[in-house]
Amino acid sequence: MTVRHALFMAAAGRAVFPMNPETKRPACAHGVKDATRDAAQIREWFSRPGLVPAAATGQPSGIVVLDIDRQHGGLDWLADQMDRLPETEIYATKSGGQHWVFQYRPGLPTIALNRIGGGVELRSTGASAIDWRALGYTRISDAPPAQFPEWLLPPKPAPRDPAPPRVPDDASLSNLLRFAAQAPAGERNRRLFWAGCRLAEQVQHGTLSAAYATALVEAAGVQAGLPRHEARATALSAIQGGRA
């Protein structure tokens, strides 16, 4: 019976591999990575007794499976949401839950247990689902797989607001400008430009005006011994470059 069902799954476009129904572990070397629709390979696998076919969910089979786990309260979730779910392929599982089968679409992720709802997980690419019908478990609905209900996807977390800029207090601003103003010969333009870039960050965040920041940097350059036109050029370069 299991080999016939596995071949039926493969004919329906599902990539199949063997599982141990007691341990729910793969009975092939590479598990879900070995899943295939090749009839010869399927017959070889299921010539061994005691195995059950599983579908590689997601892209390999074109389906995803909503696993409703009775032991974690999934049936309670299902009772609350039944009116919102479309008619689709459904079958009972060994543990008393249900597998709801939907069409796969690119990008549909595997979603861990309890993220959609208590006792509910979604199996997509990289995961798998045992088809318990091969062992005679109830076919609840033989409807074709419906489109996946997008409302089942958990909302994406809202992007975090960037941290507000630190508004420089008078002391930190004075220390920054003093560092530039006390630069020794040979370091004046480098220190002045660096100080200007730090003030440009505050201009970009709106905590200083560009004109005020430029004037402060220019004055520090003059105090360091630079000609005013040179100090102003460095200040403008730093402030405007830092705002770009």
Of 119-128, 202-211, 220-229, 230-239, the one with minimum mean pLDDT is 202-211
Can you tell me the mean pLDDT for 77-103?
97
pLDDT of 116 reads 95
Mean pLDDT computed over 163-174: 64
H or E segment at 221? helix 210-224
Domain of 72?
2-152
Distance CA 112, CA 27 (A): 23
Q: In this structure, how many other beta carbons lie within 10 angstroms of the beta carbon of residue 37?
A: 18
> What was the pLDDT predicted at 166?
53
> Same domain for 39 and 119?
yes
Position 60: which residue type? P
Instruction: In whole angstroms, give the CA distance from residue 5 to residue 43.
Output: 11
Among the three residues 152, 181, 207, which one is the final residue of a domain in this structure?
152
Instruction: Please give the share of the chain, as a percent, with pLDDT higher than 90.
Output: 79
Task: Please indicate, yes or no, whether residues 43 and 104 belong to a single structural domain of this protein.
Answer: yes
168-184 core/surface letters (b: 16 or more CB in 10 A; e: else) = beeeebeebbebbbebe
Last residue of a domain, one of 152, 185, 213: 152
Which residue, 67, 151, 156, 155, is CA-closest to 114? 67
User: Quick one: 133 and 51 in the same domain?
Assistant: yes
Residue 158 included in any domain: no
Q: What is the mean pLDDT of residues 13-22?
A: 97
pLDDT for the residue numbered 37: 98
Q: What average pLDDT does the segment 53-66 reach?
A: 98
Residues 80 and 107 in one domain: yes
The pLDDT score that the predictor gives to residue 162 is: 61
* Tens-digit pLDDT profile for residues 153-167: 988 777 776 655 555
157 lies in some domain: no
CA distance 5 to 99: 16
Q: What is the mean pLDDT of residues 173-195?
A: 90
Is 124 found in the same domain as 30?
yes
DSSP 37-63: --HHHHHHHTTSTT-EEEEE-BTTTTE
Task: Provide the number of structural domains found in the chain.
Answer: 2
Please indicate, yes or no, whether residues 111 and 141 belong to a single structural domain of this protein. Answer: yes
- Is 163 among the domain residues? no
> pLDDT category, 207, cuts 50, 70, 90?
confident
- Which residue type occupies 146? A
Is 161 within the bounds of a domain?
A: no
Based on the fold, state whether residues 183 and 137 are members of the same structural domain: no
What integer pLDDT is reported at residue 244 of this predicted model? Answer: 45
Using CA atoms, how far apart are residues 183 and 221, in angstroms rounded to an integer? 9
Mean pLDDT of the chain: 92
Secondary structure element (H or E) that encloses residue 198, with its range:
helix 188-204
Average pLDDT over residues 225-235: 93
